[in-house]
Amino acid sequence: PAAAPPPKPAKIGVPGVRAIIAVASGKGGVGKSTTSVNLALGMAANGLRVGLLDADIYGPSLPRMLGLSGKPETTDGKVLRPLVRHGVKVMSMGFLVAEETPMIWRGPMVMGAIQQMLRDVAWGELDVLVVDMPPGTGDAQLSLSQNVPLAGAVIVSTPQDIALLDARKGLNMFRRVDVPVLGIVENMSYFCCPNCGHRSDIFSHGGARAEADKLGIDFLGEVPLDIAIRETSDGGDPIVVSQPDSDHAKVYRSIAARV
C-alpha cells in the first residue's frame, strides 16, 4: 500500500492578531515592498489597526520606505516593541542589524528570524498584520505559509511575461499550502511622462489582469510607474500618506478595501 502522506504542520496564529496577509512576488524588484507599505497605510487610512512585518530578511527595505530607524525596545529582554509610523506598527530585520551588514544566513536561520519577528514582538491588538514576504518561492516562503495561518496572499507582478510566469509559481505555492490568493496587483502597469503626460505601456500593460482572468482570481488594481511613487517612498513618506488625494493613493486605498 502507498505510504500515508506526511502530516501537515499545525498552523499557529499570533495572539491578538485577527488576520495575517502576505504580500508576495515571484521575483525581486517588481515593487512588492512598495505595495506592502502603501497597502498597510491604505488599510490604516481605512480605519483598521495595522501591523507591518518585513520578512524580506536579505533585503529589508521597509525602514527606509517608512523613514524609520533606531532599535526596538524590549521590556523583558525577549519581547520587542514594534516601531510605529503613520499609525502602523512595524518590525524589520533592518532595525536589528546595520544597513550595510550582509545577511549571510542559511534558510533555517532566516525562518527562525521571521518566526521571532512574528511571535516575540508586542504586536498588541491588530485587525491585520501585513507581511512583506521575501521574493520568490523558496524555503522561507513555504515554511511561513505552512506554519502561520495566513488569511490570504496578495501577489504583486509587473506586466511582463517573465514576471508573470514567476508570479504564477507563487500562486501555485500558496494553493498547495491552502492559502487563499486574494488577487493580483499589477505594478509598473504603464508609465506617464511627467513632462508631457504621454502614457507609454513600456512593460505591456494589462498582462496581470489577463492572467488573473485566466486563473480565475481577482484583479485588484493597476499602479503605474511614476516617479512620485518612488520619490515618496525613498523619502520615508509613501504616497498614500504624503499625497492622499492623488489617483495613486486612491488605487492603493481601494486595493486595501478589497483584501
Q: Would the CA dihedral through 236, 241, 242, 243 be positive or negative?
A: positive
Told to check if 230 binds ligand ADP by CB under 6 A, we report yes
Residue 208: name the closest of 170, 248, 249, 258 by CA: 170
Query: Do the annotations mark residue 30 as ligand-binding?
Result: yes
Q: Which residue has the cell 499557529?
A: 12
Smallest distance from the beta carbon of 10 to ligand ADP, in angstroms? 30
Q: From CA 171, how far away is CA 149, in angstroms rounded? A: 16
Q: From CA 185, how far away is CA 188, in angstroms rounded? A: 10
All cell numbers assigned to 83: 516601531
Q: From CA 38, how far away is CA 248, in angstroms rounded? A: 10
Residue 90: name the closest of 55, 140, 45 by CA: 55
In the list 41, 49, 61, 63, the residue contacting ligand ADP (rule: CB under 6 A) is: 61
Closer residue to ligand ADP, CB minimum distance, 176 or 230: 230
- Pattern 102-141, binding to ligand ADP, x per CB under 6 A? ---------------------------------x------
Query: Do the annotations mark residue 33 as ligand-binding?
Result: yes
Residue 218: burial class (beta carbons within 10 Å; 0-12, 13-18, 19+)? middle
- Pattern 183-222, binding to ligand ADP, x per CB under 6 A? ----xx----------------------------------
In the list 20, 22, 30, 66, the residue contacting ligand ADP (rule: CB under 6 A) is: 30
Do residues 94 and 66 touch, judged by C-beta distance below 8 A? Answer: no
In the list 43, 126, 223, 256, the residue contacting ligand ADP (rule: CB under 6 A) is: 223
Smallest distance from the beta carbon of 58 to ligand ADP, in angstroms? 10
- Pattern 232-251, binding to ligand ADP, x per CB under 6 A? -x------------------
Segment interacting with ligand ADP (CB under 6 A) among 22-30, 109-117, 119-127, 163-171 = 22-30
How many other CB atoms are there within 10 angstroms of residue 178's CB atom? 12
Q: How many CA atoms lie within 13 A of 163 on its CB side?
A: 27
Q: From CA 213, how far away is CA 93, in angstroms rounded? A: 36
In the list 17, 25, 164, 170, the residue contacting ligand ADP (rule: CB under 6 A) is: 25
Smallest distance from the beta carbon of 146 to ligand ADP, in angstroms? 22
| Binding-site residues for ATP | 26-33
Q: Using CB under 6 A as the criterion, which residues of the chain lie in contact with ligand ADP when the complex forms?
A: 25, 28-34, 61, 135, 187-188, 223, 225-226, 229-230, 233
